């Protein structure tokens, strides 16, 4: 820094120059002002216009300040460096491909603590549909927002105690009430929370509410799903929103022939769902699918592509979705198939935010309602619950030893590697057409099954979500609650689930 000193009177010898710089005063006794040289900071461009396709431009920064920084206010802008020093520096500014139809803008700011900042205005025209099938619905991506999103998948899983499915409702074909359940109310969610559940899985249908040509989801339906999510979050409950069976467009078509079309629809749907629900914090999780039918490695590869599209679509919307925990389903959500075929997982630019999902229904005990030539229905389950008079209905598999084996395989494959497992569905039909001792033993078997599944799931780092289809309270129901009057319907089953947590 150069200082100019006015001097009057005698000229001091050189040995006193330093003292003069510090203490010298003008003839009127006022300390002389120290003048600072102004620094400069410039960029060789003030505006950049990008084409829709991803491209780059160079900016030359010149300054005599000691240091400078450069930043952007948009996630679709990438910078080759974020700082520089005195002299001339070159920065490459790259715009990612604009897959929307809308022109977007951003600002790049170059700053130094020693002088005024410089701004460069960036714009990029809208592009065309990547797949050629549907328009992009990621029309307003926003900056990443980590607020309220601090938990990794493992940390979040540790907060979930017991989950409950709003089954046969928001995924029902025709309308929310088409399968015999009333519309979901806040009072219902309050009832579920009051009875020991702190997580809700919301099976959702989207395809029937979307335009067949454009894949645009009806805004009223998006708002309705958001409303139900809000009921849960208001109760400090964790929520999973998925694309459920949904007419089978994805679940029944994990094939090379349908791969391109289904990935296009998966992308379009999740861009809309993720954007609509982007404001919720980590209480909300997204799940790619439900029970995708997969029989071999080739179909598993197609399923992984659907999962990859899901992850990329959600992340691309920005905001809290940049950090949201996401769930991918194993083949057919079958534990044995998942252990065998799910050898790789999709990639995610955000580490430690992925969970896997399987379901558990030992079929002959849990779901089978008619004998077949290959086997019979099991009415009973568990040590001490085998009938001495109705031996044909005693189980030959799927009991405690199998639960232990299956759940341990998921712990070894996923949980021990930092990937929590969601047991997205489990349950057993209530065979209330039985009578006398057979009914009593069946109901005890069912309660013991629930308690054991919850207990062993938690012991292996697996998060259990009970399947409750609601509706009919006749034979073969799994209902815990009467949704019409918001009361407990099956207290024995509910108590068993709660006991599994003890």
The residue behind tokens 């040509």 is 213
Q: What are the tokens at 460? A: 């292996």
Contact 481, 191 (CB under 8 A): yes
Q: To which residue do tokens 């399987």 refer? A: 358
Out of 291, 357, 399, 400, pick the active-site residue: 291
Distance (Å, rounded) from C-alpha 199 to C-alpha 239?
6
Say how far apart CA 302 and CA 292 lie, in whole Å: 10
Joined together, the tokens standing for residue 407 give 């759940």
Q: Answer yes or no: 51 catalytic.
A: no
Residue 493 dihedral angles phi and psi, to the nearest 5°:
-65, -40
Using CA atoms, how far apart are residues 98 and 52, in angstroms rounded to an integer? 5
Distance, CA of 23 to CA of 21 (rounded, Å): 6
Residue 425 known to be catalytic: yes
Burial class (CB in 10 A: 0-12, 13-18, 19+), 30: exposed
Please, are residues 108 and 85 in contact by the beta-carbon 8 Å criterion? no
Q: Which of 251, 271, 282, 425 is catalytic?
A: 425
Query: With b meaning 16 or more CB within 10 Å and e meaning fewer, what string describes 130-150?
Result: ebebbbbbbbebeeebeeebe
| CA torsion, ordered 307, 309, 311, 317, to nearest 10 deg | -160
495 phi/psi in degrees, rounded to 5: -60, -40
What residues act catalytically?
A: 291, 425
């Amino acid at each position: 820094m150069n200082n100019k000193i006015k001097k009057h009177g005698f000229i001091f010898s050189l040995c006193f120059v330093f003292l003069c710089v510090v203490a010298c005063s003008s003839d009127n006794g006022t300390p002389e002002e120290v003048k600072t040289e102004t620094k400069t900071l410039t960029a060789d461009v003030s505006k950049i216009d990008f084409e829709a396709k991803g491209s780059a431009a160079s900016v030359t920064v010149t300054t005599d300040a000691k240091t400078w920084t450069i930043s952007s206010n948009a996630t679709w802008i990438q910078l080759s460096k974020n700082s520089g020093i005195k002299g001339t520096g070159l920065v490459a500014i790259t715009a990612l491909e604009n897959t929307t139809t809308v022109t977007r803008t951003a600002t790049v700011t170059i700053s130094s603590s020693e002088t005024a900042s410089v701004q460069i205005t960036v714009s990029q025209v809208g592009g065309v549909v990547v797949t050629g099938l549907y328009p992009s619905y990621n029309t307003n991506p926003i900056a990443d927002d980590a607020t309220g999103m601090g938990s990794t998948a493992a940390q979040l899983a540790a907060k979930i105690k017991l989950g409950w499915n709003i089954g046969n409702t928001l995924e029902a074909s025709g309308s929310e009430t088409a399968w015999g359940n009333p519309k979901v109310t806040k009072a219902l969610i309050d009832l579920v929370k009051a009875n020991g559940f702190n997580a809700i899985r919301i099976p959702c249908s989207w395809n029937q509410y979307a335009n067949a040509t454009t894949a645009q989801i009806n805004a009223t339906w998006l708002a309705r799903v958001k409303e139900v999510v809000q009921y849960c979050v208001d109760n400090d409950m964790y929520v999973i929103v998925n694309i459920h069976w949904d007419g089978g467009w994805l679940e029944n078509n994990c094939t090379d022939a349908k791969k391109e079309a289904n990935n296009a629809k998966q992308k379009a749907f999740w861009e809309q769902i993720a954007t609509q629900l982007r404001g919720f914090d980590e209480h909300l999780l997204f799940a790619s699918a439900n029970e995708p039918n997969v029989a071999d490695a080739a179909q598993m590869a197609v399923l992984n592509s659907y999962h990859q599209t899901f992850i990329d679509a959600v992340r691309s919307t920005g905001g809290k979705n940049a950090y949201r925990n996401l769930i991918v389903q194993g083949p057919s959500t079958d534990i044995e198939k998942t252990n065998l075929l799910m050898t790789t997982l999709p990639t995610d630019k955000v580490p430690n935010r992925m969970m896997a999902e399987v379901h558990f229904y030992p079929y002959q005990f849990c779901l089978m309602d008619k004998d077949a030539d290959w086997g019979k229905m099991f009415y009973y389950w568990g040590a001490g619950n085998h009938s001495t008079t109705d031996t044909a209905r005693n189980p030959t598999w799927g009991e405690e030893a199998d639960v232990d084996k299956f759940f341990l395989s998921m712990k070894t494959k996923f949980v021990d590697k930092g990937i929590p497992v969601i047991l997205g569905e489990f349950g057993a039909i209530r065979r209330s057409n039985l009578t006398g001792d057979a009914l009593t033993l069946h109901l005890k078997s069912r309660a013991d099954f629930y308690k054991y599944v919850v207990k062993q799931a938690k012991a292996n780092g697996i998060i259990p979500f009970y399947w409750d289809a609601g509706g009919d309270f006749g034979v073969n129901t799994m209902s815990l609650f009467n949704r019409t009057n918001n009361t407990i319907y099956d207290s024995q089953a509910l108590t068993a689930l709660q006991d599994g947590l003890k």
